[in-house]
Amino acid sequence: MKPRLLVGLLLILGVALATWLYLKRGRGRELIVVSYGGGAYQASHKRAFIEPYQAQTGIRVQSVVWGAEFGKLQEMVRSGAVPWDVVEVTASQFLRGSREGLFAQMTTLPDAEEFKPLPGGPTISPLGVPNVYWSTVVAFDPHAFPQVGPSTWQDFWDLTRFPGPRALYDNPRGNLEFALLADGVSPANLYPLDVTRAFRKLDELKPHVRVWWSDGTEPVQLLLSHQVVSSSAWSGRIVALGEREKEIRYSWKGAAHELDYWIVPRGSKSIDSASAFIRFASRPEEMAAQARLIGYGPANSQALNYVDAKILPHLPTAPANWALSFVINATWWAEHEQEVEAFWVRWKGQ
């Protein structure tokens, strides 16, 4: 072999070895926590949970964002290469993942004294701990409607009273429910969803939907820049605007609540630390701290005792808001999601 080729090969091997050693470093001392959504939401996780946990334990925690791409988690667990330790998943993903054996049993859980679920809410299990209720609400641009704006899904569909372009989340989950509410179905009778009726109602609005948004920051930007007059939006993203919050108005009537869970993926190398982190992040004080930052509702009812009176009206779990809204039925969606999603994509393209 020519000396130059040999040197080249040795160089490549050296770089590969150095990369491998670099990637291997610190595993076991570091925890990777994955938040569902970036921006203000990830920032709330960092400030309320991650930084205090690091300060208390000395364990380095890395914050990572994912878009709840369930397939990614499935592939990761099935391949056995699981870099993540704590992951935030949606309620329907929690059901699917539990069924498919994707989650590890936690070695420590929040005790019953410090974690009290909301009335009728799910309890903690060794596979997952309920974390936060987040909501999709009707929001509008007060420049377009200075007096009265759309405050229900029936108003959202009413293009005569509230003319102008709309935006909706590019996902059937939630939108089918909103269409049925607009069509006169009561929240108590939403499930099982009448999918055909919902799509028929969505047909009416489709030509006026300017953007099917895919990220929580989009509807906020679209409303702030007057690109649409009304949109569905995640309430916390509006609360997180701070001073500019007044530039968007929203209503809790017909808001859809969804619950997220903390889980430890099967194959995580740090199940003990991950479980301890979840226990820490489920304490009432920490959950209240997150609620102050993002305005989502802690799944631990004890946390409401620590939330400022100023922020309480913005939380999905505040009694007055809870009474006006409904919770997405994760069981129904876990069973029908794949089938309905295919219809959704076809319908959107028609």
Partner 1 sequence: MKLVTTRHLFSLAVPLFLTAAYLAPLASWIHNFGSAVDSRLLMIAPKQLWTTIIYSSAATAIAVALGGALAIYHRFLVPDGRRWLSLLVCLSLFVGFIARNFAWLAILGFIEEGLSSVLGVRIYLAYSAFAVVLVMTSALVPLAFFVISNGLRPLRDEQLEAAQVMGVAPHQLFRAVIVPIALRSASLAFLLILAIASAYFVTPRILGGGKVDFIGTTAVWFLNHGDSTFANQLGLTLLVPGSLISASLALLVMRWRGRQLGF
What does the binding site for partner 1 look like in residue numbers (CB under 8 A)? 5, 67-75, 93, 96, 165, 170-171, 209-214, 225, 227, 337-338, 341-343, 345-346, 348-350
- Please state the closest distance from residue 179 (CB atom) to partner 1, in A: 16
Backbone angles phi, psi at 122, to 5 degrees: -75, 155
Minimum gap (Å) between residue 321 Cβ and partner 1? 28
Residue 176 has which token pair?
């089918």
How far is residue 298's CA from residue 289's CA, in Å, rounded to a whole number? 10
User: Minimum Å distance from CB 281 to partner 1?
Assistant: 24
Q: Which is nearer to partner 1, 125 or 171 (CB)?
A: 171
Contact (Cβ atoms closer than 8 angstroms) between residue 210 and residue 229: no
Nearer to partner 1, 49 or 169 (CB): 169
Neighbouring CB atoms inside 10 A of 331's CB total: 11
Q: Are 317 and 118 in contact (CB under 8 A)?
A: yes
Q: Which is nearer to partner 1, 265 or 284 (CB)?
A: 265
* 100 Cβ neighbours under 8 A, 6+ residues apart: 74
User: Quick count: other Cβ atoms within 10 Å of Cβ 68?
Assistant: 16
Which of 29/226 has CB closer to partner 1?
Answer: 226
Nearer to partner 1, 5 or 81 (CB): 5
Q: Write a three-state SS string for 151-211.
A: CCHHHHHCCCCCCCCEEEECCHHHHHHHHHHHCCCCHHHCCCCCHHHHHHHHHHHHHHEEE
User: Shortest distance, CB of residue 54 to partner 1, whole angstroms?
Assistant: 30
If you write DSSP's letter for every residue of 56-96 in order, what string do you get? HH--EEEEEEE---HHHHHHHHHHT----SEEEEEHHHHHH
| Least distance from partner 1 to the Cβ atom of residue 256, Å | 17
CA atoms of 283 and 300, how far apart (whole Å):
8
Taking the complex as a whole, how short is the minimal distance between the CB of residue 278 and partner 1, in angstroms? 22
State whether residue 230 is helix, strand or coil.
strand
DSSP state of 50: I
- Closest contact distance (angstroms) between CB of 21 and partner 1 is 28
Those residues with Cβ within 8 angstroms of residue 272's Cβ, 6 or more apart along the chain or in another chain: 107, 108
| CB nearer partner 1, residue 56 or residue 350 | 350
* 8 Å CB contact between 151 and 138: yes
Q: How far is the CB of 165 from partner 1 (least distance, A)?
A: 7
Minimum CB distance to partner 1 smaller for 189 or for 225: 225
Pick between residue 115 and residue 169 the one whose CB is nearest to partner 1: 169
Residue 183's contacts (CB-CB under 8 Å, 6 or more residues apart) are 197, 198, 201
Q: How far is the CB of 188 from partner 1 (least distance, A)?
A: 28
Amino acid identity of 90?
Answer: T
> β-strand 230-234 against 129-140: which pairing, if any?
antiparallel
Output 165 or 284, the one with its CB closest to partner 1: 165
Minimum Å gap between C-beta 190 and partner 1 is 21
Distance CA 337, CA 307 (A): 35
